[in-house]
């Protein structure tokens, strides 16, 4: 199921997701754990991750909550095939996982 994030241990152990989460943690912490500021900075590296890390898109929905939150915030529920309630839950799950993973 999308936007149900793996445990913090799993997310940081997996090679590609672990690397991405370590970068996201740095971004999140650099922005004083303010997720709205962090996703602005995340946007600047998002395309780099997509271009240079093999199949990173496979991991975002379940392993990399900052990138998932960024994706959700830059689009609308329809873009993900979600209804409004599912979209809100996805946002909440992503935000909560960011707080858990990166704080």
Is the pLDDT score of 14 beyond 80? Answer: no
Tell me, yes or no, if the pTM score tops 0.85: yes
Instruction: With beta carbons less than 8 A apart as the criterion, state whether 53 and 17 touch.
Output: no
Question: Average pLDDT of 25-48?
Answer: 93
Per-residue pLDDT for 92 more than 80?
yes
Q: What is the pLDDT of residue 34?
A: 96
**pLDDT for residue 88:** 94
CA distances from 11 to 7, 48, 84 (A): 6, 20, 27
Mean pLDDT over residues 33-43, rounded? Answer: 93
């Amino acid at each position: 199921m999308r936007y149900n994030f793996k445990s913090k241990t799993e997310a940081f152990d997996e090679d590609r997701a672990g690397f991405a989460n370590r970068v996201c943690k740095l971004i999140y912490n650099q922005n004083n754990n303010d997720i709205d500021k962090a996703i602005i900075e995340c946007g600047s590296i998002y395309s780099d991750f997509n271009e240079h890390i093999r199949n990173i898109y496979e991991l975002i929905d379940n392993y990399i909550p900052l990138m998932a939150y960024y994706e959700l915030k830059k689009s609308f529920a329809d873009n993900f095939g979600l209804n409004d309630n599912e979209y809100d839950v996805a946002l909440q799950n992503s935000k909560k996982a960011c707080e858990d993973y990166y704080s």
